[in-house]
Amino acid sequence: MSPTSLRIRLLGELSLAYGATLVTGISTGRAQALLAYLVLQRHAPQPRQRLAFQLWVDSTDTQARTNLRKELSYLRRALPEVDKFLLVDAKTLQWHPNARFTLDVAEFEQALGAAEQGTNPALVRSALEQALELYQGDLLPRCEDDWLLPERERLQQLRIRALAQLMDLLETQRDYRAAIDRAQQLLRIDPLNEAAYCSLMRLQMLSGNRANALQIYHRCMTILREELGVEPSSSTRKLYEQVLNQEVEQSAARPFAQLLTHPLPTLPNIRPKSPLLPLIGRDHEWLSIRQWLLSMTNDVASEVLLLVGEPGIGKTRLLEELQQTMHAANGHVLWGRGFAAELVRPYGVWIDALRSLTLRGSIKLPSDLGFLLPELGHSSSLPPDRGQLFDLVVQFLTRLCADGIPVAIILDDIQWIDEASSALLHYATRLLGHLPVLFACATRPRELEDNAAILRVVQALRRERRLQTIELHPLAREHTAELIRYVNPGNHLGLSQEQIADLVFIDSGGNPLFALEVARVLSQQETHSSDNLDALIRDRLQQLNESARELVPWAAALGRSFKPTTVAQVADCSLTKLLTAIEHLEQQNIIRPSVSLDGEMGYDFAHDIVRQVAYRQLSEPRRRLMHRQIAHQLNQADTPSQALASDIAHHASLGGDHTLAASASLAAAERSLKLFAYAEAAELAQRGIQHCQALEGRTRIELHLGLLRIGAIAGVTQERATQLENEVHRLISQANALGLKDEEATGLEILMILRFSNSDFASVHQNSLRVAEASRTASPVTAARMLASGGSCLAEIGREMTRAEALLLEAQSLAARVGLAIIDIPCGLGCVQRHQAHYTEARDLLQQAWRLAQAQQDHWRECTCLTYLAMTELEADDPAAALPYCQEMATVAAKMNGEGSEAVFATALKALASYVLQQPGAEAALKQAIAMLRQVDAKRMLSYVLIGAAQTDLASDRLKLATIRAEAALQAAQTVNHFSEIALAWALFIQATLALGDRQRATTCFEALRRTINCQALSAQARARFDQVMQLMQATVTH
């Protein structure tokens, strides 16, 4: 295992970390200055006398030397393993030349050096961004020593130069939004930089913000006059005049609406230039995507776009086209991708997608997402449950699209995304459907079938008709030929263009990736003998230069997009050498820039097939060694948030390091639990347990029990719980035999968790508060119950029905994991269906809930289900079918303890049904029921019954009574703020008033209703009634 490294930061406040531990002892200003001096002057021994003089300029020589001894002694105590870092003798001090450490100042200069030498714009950008990210503040800002000031000034100038360089580069890349951010950043630190004002003016103009550009000129003029007493230079004034006359070239960026209303055939003209190949042979698919984009401007909820096709068929290319279109419209794009190696990384694809937003430098992610993105600062308060975690992401996306800015969430290779990511995707698609937020995904068809979690989401979206699938087929011959003509492979075989096209088409079968590989070979060799894609890619990898060939296996073994610094670390090569190799690989189209990772430009293979081929080339023993080394290096670099634990577990497992694999699995599973990613936690625990079999003694028992504990909290079915209990009893005996008290206690805790998880919610109190607390925050059983309770509360009172349904479906998915049946779920979903007037579906769900309640002998819920069933029949115009439910409800209510309203509800609904059916004596029974509802003070039910009665009165021409009942219903509904019943009662009152001939009053009431009402929040029944009244009122006006 590699020795631990010391990380020193001098830019901003001084900070030291040794491995994952913060070094906090160096707190005095002089000790910090001494450390900084030694580190910055590390290349030569420093005489004690000079040091003492530099650090204590006002002291006598003797006093200064005494002070130095004292501070040195502090430093020696504070630094871990001090002899590895300090060389001390009688006359000199020196930072150890072989010390294993990193220094932000050195990394900053190294990144600037890489940017200086780089020729590839993407690499230069990445290096500059990395340098600026490292510059967290001025060099030791609180130290005012004379020796330090020139160095601080030098670094400040380097930073300003880097900012200006990056700003120019971004402008040439037409990333104006990011360039503007950098220009503003530059002006904040250097407010007299006239050149920066000019750049900012030009950038604002290029982004179409002429007014902003003019304002910037005035700001520049004012500050130069006030601070320096000079006027802007002639070139700045000239630019100002150009802006006034609108002479600066307009950019490709246009408002989204304008982009969409642009006629389709001209769309390519307004897309920015790009290094991508043109979109060939996909006109039909792109047209469908354009039409799908247009749905964002409609009122209807948008559909999720799913591109389906074999590897290499062009899914990613279409997603990139969509990304460019969104950027050209100044929209936001979140781009994430699934990786085969990452099925247990909770929210992996979302983490990458959120980070991708920062790649363009324009968005700052809020710190409340810190639980997903540790680089935002450690989030002290995790969301209390999975629903609230999802809500934080949804709320961020909602804020992102404020002011109508379109947002596209693009997720590639979703066949490899984890369960938690799938659940969040489903949740977000539901809640953001009516906002300008679009979801576009791509998948391989066969692999999708193997990922149950995402398959469920896709099936649900399809069932709900919220999925637009586009299947990508191989290119036609003429399109393959067009693609080949574009790359112009050259001709060593003496064949005509047509013959080459035929050859490529036959060999590739119209698969664009395959076709390009065949064409590439034809351009380099006189013959090509390979008839499969793998062989062609293998040949291409063989032709790379040496440094690139060294890098490829490491990148392939990492299994996902990678940061150059990570590869440098695991492959133990210098960053400069690595950046050269990356540049070569990028030129050869083996890798390409990917999402930003921890503020650093990430890279990924140009296609996953390339990664697979590179990986398959490695021999089994070499793979194992590489994975083992990666695991160990990542283990060194992991932070206290243990964000890398699942990666470490993955690589340790493939590297055959069972102890590290088991312990990292445990850490990763614990992290998954904190993020309510139960499936991932359970899977990681299971994998860790497999590694425990190879361990011995206390380590085995400790890790095995720890992993079983996570498995138990993550939730198990009753059947599995019994097996687990046996396993735990066996381990407890072993722990007991070895005298391992702590492990024995863990075993007992697992038994309690298992019993708690499979007990009834109402009997929580029988368990200790400690277990209840532990499980409350983590167990899917409790999480499912909480989500179900929250969702059904909303559904039953007819509020936020989209959110209610999303919560209930999420509860359903969690409950299914542990084989749990929760009455609130079908009951709440039944209410959602009833709200939408889907009575058949509502009946099925409510009956299912009723059967569950009967089985669980939950009488109150039995009554609730029966109430909703009776209401469903009344609303479906079948009052006779409501009567048996009322009868059953009365029977169940009689069995209940305490003073409840259930019997009254039964009587009231029965009276209403009889009244609608015009049965003898119904009128008196109804009056009596209304009085009883008032007595128990149940305003929602009172309003419901009064509305039902008023509808019957209106239909039977008892108009006066209808107005009285509707008005009373309105009053009750307003008290409990029930939107749909308010609208229904109000509409009935207007109808009855109109029928009585009081047009003026009806008109006044209708105007008031129209001002108050929010049609989106109404039930289908209330909306229908409102529409009916609106037509009546319009007819009244016409006549």
C-beta of 250 vs 935, nearer to another protein: 935
Distance, CA of 841 to CA of 769 (rounded, Å):
40
C-beta of 223 vs 896, nearer to another protein: 896
Residue among 91, 161, 616, 927 that touches another protein (CB under 8 A): 927
Instruction: Kindly report each contact of residues 742-747 with a partner whose C-beta sits within 8 Å and lies 24 or more positions away, as own/partner.
Output: 742/702, 743/698, 743/701, 743/702, 743/705, 746/702, 746/705, 746/706, 746/709, 747/705
| Minimum distance of another protein from residue 862's CB (angstroms) | 11
Q: Starting from the edge strand earliest in sequence, which strands make up the sheet with 46-47, in order?
A: 46-47, 92-95, 86-88
Distance, CA of 902 to CA of 802 (rounded, Å):
28
Beta-sheet pairing, 86-88 with 101-103: unpaired
| Minimum distance of another protein from residue 756's CB (angstroms) | 12
Q: Which stretch binds another protein (CB under 8 A): 291-299, 570-578, 845-853, 932-940?
A: 932-940
Note whether 916 and 879 are within 8 A (CB).
yes
Residue among 936, 959, 995, 996 that touches another protein (CB under 8 A): 936
Residue among 901, 998, 1010, 1030 that touches another protein (CB under 8 A): 901
Site for another protein in 842-871 (CB under 8 A): 860
**801 near another protein, judged by CB under 8 A:** no
Number of C-beta neighbours around residue 532 at 10 A: 11
Note whether 375 and 598 are within 8 A (CB).
yes
**956 near another protein, judged by CB under 8 A:** no
**At residue 261, what are phi and psi to the nearest 5 degrees?**
-80, -10
| Minimum distance of another protein from residue 389's CB (angstroms) | 16
Distance, CA of 240 to CA of 530 (rounded, Å):
61
Residue among 937, 957, 1007, 1027 that touches another protein (CB under 8 A): 937
**895 near another protein, judged by CB under 8 A:** no
Distance, CA of 851 to CA of 936 (rounded, Å):
28
Site for another protein in 967-986 (CB under 8 A): 968, 975-977
Residue among 120, 588, 699, 789 that touches another protein (CB under 8 A): 789
Per the listing, tokens 């499969």 go with 532
- 3 state DSSP class of 86: strand
The residues, any chain, with a CB within 8 Å of residue 1007's CB and separated by 6 or more, are: none
Note whether 130 and 598 are within 8 A (CB).
no
**900 near another protein, judged by CB under 8 A:** yes
Cα torsion 568, 570, 573, 574 to 10°: value is 30
**102 near another protein, judged by CB under 8 A:** no
Residue among 270, 793, 881, 1032 that touches another protein (CB under 8 A): 793
Site for another protein in 230-269 (CB under 8 A): none
**965 near another protein, judged by CB under 8 A:** yes
Residue among 765, 857, 1014, 1037 that touches another protein (CB under 8 A): 765
| Minimum distance of another protein from residue 947's CB (angstroms) | 12
Distance, CA of 360 to CA of 1022 (rounded, Å):
46
**93 near another protein, judged by CB under 8 A:** no
Total residues contacting another protein by CB under 8 A comes to: 41
| Minimum distance of another protein from residue 785's CB (angstroms) | 9
C-beta of 332 vs 386, nearer to another protein: 386
Number of C-beta neighbours around residue 213 at 10 A: 24
Buried b / exposed e over 705-716, threshold 16 CB at 10 Å, is: bbbbbbbbbbbb
**959 near another protein, judged by CB under 8 A:** no
| Minimum distance of another protein from residue 833's CB (angstroms) | 20
C-beta of 853 vs 1018, nearer to another protein: 853
| Minimum distance of another protein from residue 379's CB (angstroms) | 22
Each residue 651-680 as x (binds another protein by CB under 8 A) or -, in order, gives: ------------------------------
What is the residue type of 661? Answer: A
C-beta of 107 vs 385, nearer to another protein: 385
The residues, any chain, with a CB within 8 Å of residue 793's CB and separated by 6 or more, are: none
DSSP string, 959-996: HHHHHHHHHHHHHHHHHTT-HHHHHHHHHHHHHHHHHT
**12 near another protein, judged by CB under 8 A:** no
C-beta of 62 vs 897, nearer to another protein: 897
Residue among 930, 954, 988, 1029 that touches another protein (CB under 8 A): 930
| Minimum distance of another protein from residue 441's CB (angstroms) | 33
Site for another protein in 152-191 (CB under 8 A): none
Question: Which H or E element spans position 605?
Answer: strand 600-605
Distance, CA of 787 to CA of 676 (rounded, Å):
12
Distance, CA of 902 to CA of 701 (rounded, Å):
54
Instruction: Kindly report each contact of residues 732-736 with a partner whose C-beta sits within 8 Å and lies 24 or more positions away, as own/partner.
Output: 734/701, 735/701, 735/705
**797 near another protein, judged by CB under 8 A:** yes
Each residue 382-411 as x (binds another protein by CB under 8 A) or -, in order, gives: ------------------------------
| Minimum distance of another protein from residue 773's CB (angstroms) | 10
C-beta of 156 vs 388, nearer to another protein: 388
Q: CA geometry: angle at 476 spanning 472 and 478, to 5°?
A: 140
Residue among 551, 661, 731, 949 that touches another protein (CB under 8 A): 949
Residue among 526, 719, 877, 899 that touches another protein (CB under 8 A): 899
C-beta of 692 vs 832, nearer to another protein: 832
Distance, CA of 425 to CA of 443 (rounded, Å):
14
C-beta of 110 vs 864, nearer to another protein: 864
Site for another protein in 50-69 (CB under 8 A): none
Of 790, 706, 804, 713, the C-alpha closest to 754 is 713
C-beta of 365 vs 996, nearer to another protein: 996
The residues, any chain, with a CB within 8 Å of residue 929's CB and separated by 6 or more, are: 904, 907, 908, 910, 911, 912, 945
| Minimum distance of another protein from residue 865's CB (angstroms) | 13
| Minimum distance of another protein from residue 713's CB (angstroms) | 18
**934 near another protein, judged by CB under 8 A:** yes
**893 near another protein, judged by CB under 8 A:** no
**946 near another protein, judged by CB under 8 A:** yes
**208 near another protein, judged by CB under 8 A:** no
Note whether 104 and 136 are within 8 A (CB).
yes
Each residue 805-844 as x (binds another protein by CB under 8 A) or -, in order, gives: -------------------x--------------------
C-beta of 486 vs 761, nearer to another protein: 761
**924 near another protein, judged by CB under 8 A:** no
C-beta of 72 vs 946, nearer to another protein: 946
- 3 state DSSP class of 26: coil
Distance, CA of 69 to CA of 67 (rounded, Å):
5
Of 892, 274, 822, the C-alpha closest to 593 is 274
Note whether 10 and 148 are within 8 A (CB).
no
Q: Which stretch binds another protein (CB under 8 A): 172-180, 225-233, 416-424, 899-907?
A: 899-907
**778 near another protein, judged by CB under 8 A:** no
* Interface residues toward another protein, by CB under 8 A: 761-762, 764-765, 769, 772, 776, 786, 789-790, 792-794, 797, 824, 860, 897-901, 927, 930-931, 934-941, 946, 949, 961, 964-965, 968, 975-977
